[in-house]
Amino acid sequence: MNDEVEHRLGSAGLELASMQKRAFAFFIDELILSFLFLIIIYEQVMSISDPDAIVALINSFTFEYLLIKIVYQTFFVYQYSATLGKIFMKIQVVDAETMEKPIFGSALNRGVFRIISEMIFYLGFIWAFYSKNRQGWHDKTARTLVVNV
């Protein structure tokens, strides 16, 4: 861990969240978002009997689903410093400089780069396993850390 970041964390009485907690939070968030998405398109899915047509329907909403994910991540990180999954796992996102709740621009940046990380074979998330401060690409670009509450 970077000495400067370690000092800031110590001064604020914080410690980095484990990758296991972050992975569980990610899984919870993905379940919530998938369930929400299925509620939104439920009537259309139920009107189709062909499995291939259902897959085609779901694929036709890719942009909307990605937009929902960005809005969800941005809103919760900006408003509460944590998504529902992170709240459940008792972790939160903080600005790496101030150790405070991220500003809107950082929350939006983080939400967008999470999608980019997912689209490139989750490499941005894998990066966090090898990063000194457990930062994925979305954390690096937004200058955030994920810490225990």
3-state secondary structure of 126: helix
Q: What band does 2 get if pLDDT is binned at 50, 70 and 90?
A: confident
Q: Tell me the pLDDT tens digit for each residue of 6-39.
A: 999 999 999 999 999 999 999 999 999 999 999 9
pLDDT at 45 over 70: yes
Report the relative pairing of strands 144-148 and 91-95 from DSSP bridges.
antiparallel
- Whether the per-residue pLDDT at 3 is higher than 90: the answer is no
Separation of alpha carbons 65 and 24, rounded Å: 21
Two tokens, residue 118: 């997912």
pLDDT of 1 > 80? The answer is no
- Angle CA 24–30–32, to nearest 5: 105
**Domain ranges in the chain?**
3-148
Q: Give tens-digit pLDDT for 46-85.
A: 999 999 999 999 999 999 999 999 999 999 999 999 999 9
Q: pLDDT > 70: what percent of the chain? A: 99
